[in-house]
Amino acid sequence: MTEMLFKAMRSPQERAQLYSLFQDAVLHCERCGLCRTRKNVVVGEGSLTNRIMFVGEGPGEVEDDTGRPFVGPAGQLLTRILEAAGFKREEVYITNIVKCRPPGNRVPEIEEVLRCQGWLEAQIALLRPQIIVALGNTPLKWFLHSTGGITKMRGRWFTWRGISLMPMFHPSYLLRNESREKGGPKDLTWRDIQEIRARYMSLQGKNDGTTV
Q: How far apart are CA 38 and CA 23, in angstroms?
A: 16
Query: Given this model, what pLDDT does residue 180 score?
Result: 74
pLDDT (tens digit per residue) in 156-211: 999 999 999 999 999 999 999 877 788 899 999 999 999 999 999 999 886 544 33
* DSSP assignment letter at 167: E
Phi, psi of 206 (to 5 degrees): -125, 165
Helix, strand, or coil here: 55?
A: strand
Sequence ranges of the domains in the chain: 2-203
Whether the predicted model's global pTM rises above the 0.85 cut:
yes
CATH superfamily of the 2-203 domain: Uracil-DNA glycosylase-like domain (3.40.470.10)
pLDDT (tens digit per residue) in 7-55: 555 688 898 999 999 999 999 999 999 999 999 999 999 999 999 999 9
